[in-house]
Amino acid sequence: MPKTINPSSKHNTPVSVLQSIATITCQRDRDLLAQSLVSTLAELIHSLRITMYRTLPNEQGEEAILVAECVSPSAPTSSPSELSVFVATRADFKRVLETAKEHVESLDEFTIRHVFPIAGKHNTVGLLEIIAGNGIEIDQKLIVSFLMIYSNYLNILDESETDTLTGLLNRRTFENNMERIIANERAQTQIIQPELNPQHPARRQINPAHPHWLAVMDIDHFKRINDQFGHLYGDEVLILLSRKMKRIFRQTDKLFRFGGEEFIVVLERTSLDCAKKVLERFRSGIENFNFPQVGKVTISIGFVRLDKIDVPSAIVGRADQALYYAKEHGRNQVCFYEELVSEGKLAAEHFSDDLELF
């Protein structure tokens, strides 16, 4: 749900700008960082709508995913921003990504649109769209300066939160992410549009009535790969597998390298059927991929519904049981914990709240 722009905006005094920078840099979460930046800009400049998009490669082309938005109460009634849009369908987005320069255009006699690139380490990683009244002067230097601060701070977060080999989130960040997701499950206040993107009907539906899911994945016979081909080729398997994870799972899914050859995926809200299908699609994709020098590699997966009454260690413990069952019964398969329990293949486990993960 987009935040509302405060109509009584701050003045752009040095003190207010410094306070805004302090507010932004106190965040330790990417999504909160993005929302903090958008909210700050909404207070410092006169605008009708400010929207931030994260850009990601997709099999259908570059995709822009909405991550933060602020809308002014004085903005004319309009349809909500799309949760995701293919860059090819937006000439302004495409131009900004190609040139890494700001784009300005009049939408009508009353409004004007500015689109700014958000720089990453090596390329443009996002877009900032500002809709303002025609005749309202936008302080471009102020916006560019804040985007530079945001980019620099995002790089710091990336270095501290990501695994250096695979680029996935690391184990240190897992517990914080899990606690936040469980808190959202308990509150059940997250409002997400459930409609499918008509331009991409095959995408999984995000519905607030559906739960999150946690999957633990382990590469089969990984020690054999290291022993036979060496650790350099073992590392290449980990890198290629993580790239496939980024392509197959959604941007809103959380991807972790948990340690060694073990990975964890926290699936954004979806149905059990969709969770099974995407995990099976990933398993099959790995099985059918030809890893250089190594050849065929398979993975085993155990997954569980993310329960709002549990602690992270209990949820991981159940997913691990399903993973071990998959390993012990042939490997290269996806096993659902609750299904195994209902079929009598596993005994239900109860984990103490004080069980430590680390």
- Residues noted as catalytic: 261
Q: How far apart are CA 329 and CA 333, in angstroms?
A: 9
List, in order, residues 6 or more apart from 167 with CB less than 8 Å away: 242, 246
Max Cα separation, the chain? 69
Nearest to 50 by CA among 147, 153, 119, 124: 147
Q: Where are the alpha helices (DSSP H) in the chain?
A: 14-25, 30-44, 91-99, 140-161, 171-187, 222-229, 231-248, 272-287, 312-328, 337-342
Radius of gyration of the chain (CA): 22
Order of strands, edge to edge, in the sheet holding 299-305?
254-259, 262-267, 213-219, 299-305, 334-336
Helix (H) or strand (E) holding 193: none
Q: Phi first, then psi: what are they for 206, rounded to 5°?
A: -100, 115
Q: How far apart are CA 283 and CA 132, in angstroms?
A: 47
**How many CB atoms sit inside 10 A of residue 264's CB?**
23
